[in-house]
């Protein structure tokens, strides 16, 4: 099985970077926050919940305020610092999704919002999630839809492909969008001991003040996007950003703002 060491290094370095971690909180999370109401609607009553890959604690805070006992866990000390600043009353711990420091059957629900695609060994993480769930416990996750349905990813990937230096390549990694594909998600989760109960699309988006903002979000608010753009020669970087801005102008105009659709997939699964 692939170990994805280069990808693991990229993710660790990215989420340890002040620019990326702060950029995610201030820019990227405008879209991810839009999935929170659907996540909350999927959780039962008065449950003990693990918010895995909790990042800046936005979901942890919402779960707690909805009346649940929740622990936020993330491997990134930078993101946990943002989480503790955001929600000082929250319980946050540093933990690797591939090796969780919890006893078997500790939680009724595990939530992982836009986190699993950043984990190198996803089967191991899913095994750990199932282990810490009570029998027939619930797993709720969100992931970004791919360029086949996501206008934002269509724009970004096409511009990188057309104007990027071909020598700049992502390290080998799991398919970033595979959990948005119903067939792939069902197969992966079934292998891990889960039955998918529901999968639905959530309409997330960014409202941009300028067409240039979209490339800035990818460069300064996400490890993968930051890598793909920061590794480009100056000429290619400028060309990608100019092409992205032009496509934003063409496709996302909305009054004096730009409405950039970034649909997500929500999965609710049950441990079998």
pLDDT per position as a tens digit, 124-147: 999 999 999 999 999 999 999 999
pTM: 0.95
Q: Which region, left, alpha or beta, applies to residue 13 given φ > 0 means left and ψ of -120 to 50 means alpha? A: alpha
Give the total residue count for the chain: 272
Distance CA 176, CA 117 (A): 5
Q: Which of 76, 170, 171, 178 is nearest to 117 (CA)?
A: 178
| Residue ranges of the chain with per-residue pLDDT less than 70 | 1
Q: Which of 156, 152, 172, 176 is nearest to 164 (CA)?
A: 156
CATH number at residue 132: 3.40.50.150
Residue 265, domain extent: 5-271
The confidence score (pLDDT) of residue 3 equals 80
**Residue 195 contacts residue 130 (beta carbons within 8 Å):** no
State how many domains the chain has: 1
Distance CA 104, CA 128 (A): 9
């Amino acid at each position: 099985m692939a170990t994805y060491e280069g990808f693991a290094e990229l993710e660790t370095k990215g989420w340890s970077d002040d620019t990326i971690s702060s950029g995610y909180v201030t820019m990227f999370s405008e879209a991810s926050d839009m999935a929170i109401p659907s996540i909350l609607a999927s959780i039962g009553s008065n449950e003990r919940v693990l918010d895995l890959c909790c990042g800046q604690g936005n979901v942890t805070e919402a779960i707690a305020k909805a009346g649940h006992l929740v622990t936020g866990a993330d491997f990134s000390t930078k993101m946990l610092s943002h989480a503790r600043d955001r929600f000082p009353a929250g319980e946050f711990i540093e933990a690797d999704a591939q090796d969780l420091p919890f006893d078997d059957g500790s939680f009724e629900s595990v939530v992982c919002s836009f986190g699993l695609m950043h984990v190198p060994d996803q089967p191991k993480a899913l095994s750990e999630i199932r282990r810490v769930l009570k029998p027939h416990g619930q797993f709720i996750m969100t992931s970004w839809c791919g360029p086949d349905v996501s206008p934002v990813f269509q724009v970004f990937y096409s511009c990188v492909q057309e104007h990027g230096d071909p020598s700049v390549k992502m390290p080998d990694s799991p398919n970033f969008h595979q959990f948005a594909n119903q067939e792939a998600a069902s197969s992966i989760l079934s292998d891990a001991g889960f039955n998918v109960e529901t999968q639905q699309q959530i309409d997330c988006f960014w409202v941009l003040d300028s067409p240039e903002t979209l490339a800035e979000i990818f460069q300064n608010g996400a490890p993968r996007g930051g890598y793909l753009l920061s590794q480009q020669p100056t000429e290619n970087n400028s060309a990608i950003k100019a092409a992205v801005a032009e496509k934003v102008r063409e496709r996302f105009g909305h009054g004096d703002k730009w409405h950039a659709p970034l649909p997500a997939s929500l999965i609710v699964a049950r441990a079998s």
